[in-house]
């Protein structure tokens, strides 16, 4: 049997099953696809694909459906990803460009991707530790309180308030603000501790306690685990895919409610150097997501992505369309943050 023809048969089965949700038989393949061989040859090819574990028969006298292994072969051999149309690209750009801040950008992105794919969309907030610092602002609030504002290159803003034991010397705040920004502006936040400590040494001894407290606030903010969070939209789309799951969608919904599950998946997928990563079925390594596929890619940053965005749905998904949508939204999201 020709490997190329076997791949053509598998591709036809996947495409038909994704479109119809009905098991695919040899007669349907002959009628819908110009495979150039006889029905008997197609039946032989399907038998070989089934033996190899790429397709399966859900019940006696039924056609065949793709397995996780079959979907994986199909995705790995996708030769072309249909680009979004010009109107779709303009709509994405305009919708995201109207965002007013980082929270709005993330919220718009997750809702937009959910609408495009008709699946669950997940957007990870830009990691604070992988971002670069744009500006540090110090604002006295009364005599013994100091507001520390951290602004990153992704538009993320973190605020912390320092309660001081003594009034702030009038000359210290402007000098500290200037020295802080000279030392750290443009640096990745993960690389800040050393320059911050070096900067503190430039102050006279009597001012250093305040300087060290500000430095400690910045460092503590970078270390907070709360920076790792995700936003999700479109869980209701799973209800329309209920028949794609062997029992109910409840295990999927329960898994999605655990942010730690999604964060772990996104972190694992970030280790893949491919532009877009696809996890299929049991590759997700979580019982509740064993009948789903997750398509994700990174966004932001010139070399290393700041975070990831993805779409999750049943394994019977339009992989080419989902990959195109995820990639397009990630590209525009990156442009918005860079601007």
pLDDT in tens, 190-203: 777 788 888 888 88
Q: Rounded mean pLDDT of 228-246?
A: 83
What is the CATH class of 86-127+228-338?
Answer: alpha beta
**What are the two backbone dihedrals, phi and then psi, of residue 278, each rounded to the nearest 5 degrees?**
-125, 120
pLDDT at 53: 95
Q: How confident is the model at residue 126 (pLDDT cuts 50, 70, 90)?
A: confident
Lowest mean pLDDT among 125-134, 242-251, 266-275, 319-328: 125-134
Checking if the pLDDT of 225 tops 80, the result is no
Instruction: Indicate if the pLDDT at residue 130 is higher than 70.
Output: no
Residues constituting the chain: 339
Question: What per-residue confidence (pLDDT) applies to 274?
Answer: 67
Whether the Cβ atoms of residue 283 and residue 314 lie closer than 8 Å to each other: no
pLDDT tens-digit series, residues 257-310: 888 888 888 888 877 766 899 999 999 988 899 999 999 999 876 667 778 999
Q: What is the pTM of this model?
A: 0.78
Question: Where in the chain are the domains?
Answer: 3-67, 86-127+228-338, 133-226
Q: What percent of the chain has pLDDT over 90?
A: 31
Give CA–CA dist 159/89, Å, rounded.
35
Please give the class, per CATH, of domain 3-67: mainly alpha
Please state the rounded mean pLDDT for residues 149-161: 82
Flag whether pLDDT at 149 surpasses 60.
Answer: yes
| Structural class in CATH, domain 133-226 | alpha beta
What are the helix and strand counts (H, E) for the chain? 13, 10
Mean pLDDT, the chain, rounded, equals 85
Which ranges of the chain would DSSP assign to H, the alpha helix? Answer: 3-20, 26-32, 39-51, 68-76, 86-97, 102-117, 172-184, 193-200, 208-223, 237-240, 250-257, 259-270, 319-338
CA distance 103 to 105: 5
Contact call for residues 233 and 111 (beta carbons, < 8 A): yes
Contact 50, 1 (CB under 8 A): no
Across 214-242, average pLDDT = 77
Intrachain domains 86-127+228-338 and 133-226 with the same fold: no
pLDDT, residue 240, reads 78
Query: For the purposes of burial, counting CB atoms within 10 Å of the CB of 256, is it exposed (0-12), middle (13-18) or buried (19 or more)?
Result: buried
Among 337, 294, 328, which residue's Cα sits nearest to residue 91?
328
Q: What is the pLDDT of residue 143?
A: 84
pLDDT at residue 170 is higher than 50:
yes
16-20, 115-119, 147-151, 309-313: the lowest-pLDDT one: 147-151
Question: Please, which pLDDT band fits residue 128 given cuts at 50, 70 and 90?
Answer: low
- Do 174 and 190 touch, CB atoms closer than 8 A? no
Q: What was the pLDDT predicted at 70?
A: 96
Kindly state the average pLDDT of the residues 1-21: 87
- In sequence order, the 6+-apart residues with CB closer than 8 A to the CB of 303 are none
Triad 236, 234, 244: Cα angle to 5°: 55
Helix (H, G, I), strand (E, B) or coil at 299: strand
């Amino acid at each position: 049997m020709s490997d190329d023809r076997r791949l053509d048969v598998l591709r036809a089965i996947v495409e038909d099953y994704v479109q119809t949700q009905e098991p695919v038989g040899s007669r349907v393949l002959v009628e819908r696809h110009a495979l150039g061989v006889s029905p008997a040859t197609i039946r032989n090819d399907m038998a070989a694909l089934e033996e190899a574990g790429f397709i399966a028969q859900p019940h006696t006298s039924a056609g065949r459906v793709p397995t996780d292994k079959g979907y994986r072969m199909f995705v790995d051999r996708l030769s072309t990803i249909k680009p979004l149309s010009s109107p779709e690209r303009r709509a994405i750009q305009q919708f995201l460009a109207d965002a007013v801040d980082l929270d709005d950008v993330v919220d718009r992105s997750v809702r937009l991707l959910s609408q495009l794919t008709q699946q669950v969309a997940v957007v990870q907030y830009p990691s604070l530790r992988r971002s670069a610092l744009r500006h540090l602002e110090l604002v006295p609030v009364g005599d013994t309180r100091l507001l520390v504002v951290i602004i990153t290159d992704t538009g993320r803003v973190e605020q912390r308030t320092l309660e001081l034991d003594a009034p702030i010397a009038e000359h210290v705040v402007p000098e500290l603000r200037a020295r802080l920004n000279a030392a750290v502006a443009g640096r990745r936040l993960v690389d800040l501790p050393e320059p911050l400590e070096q900067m503190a040494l430039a102050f006279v001894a009597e001012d250093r306690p305040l300087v060290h407290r500000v430095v400690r606030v910045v460092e503590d903010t970078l270390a907070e685990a709360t920076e790792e969070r995700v936003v999700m939209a479109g869980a209701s789309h799973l209800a329309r895919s209920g028949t794609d799951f062997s029992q109910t969608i409840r295990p999927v919904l329960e898994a999605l409610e655990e942010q730690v599950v999604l964060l772990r998946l996104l972190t694992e997928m970030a280790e893949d150097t491919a532009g877009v990563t696809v996890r299929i079925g049991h590759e997700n390594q979580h019982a509740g997501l064993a009948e789903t596929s997750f398509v994700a890619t990174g966004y932001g940053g010139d070399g290393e992505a700041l975070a990831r965005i993805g779409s999750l749905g049943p394994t019977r998904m339009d992989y080419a369309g989902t990959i195109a949508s995820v990639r397009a939204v990630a590209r525009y999201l990156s442009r918005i943050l860079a601007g």
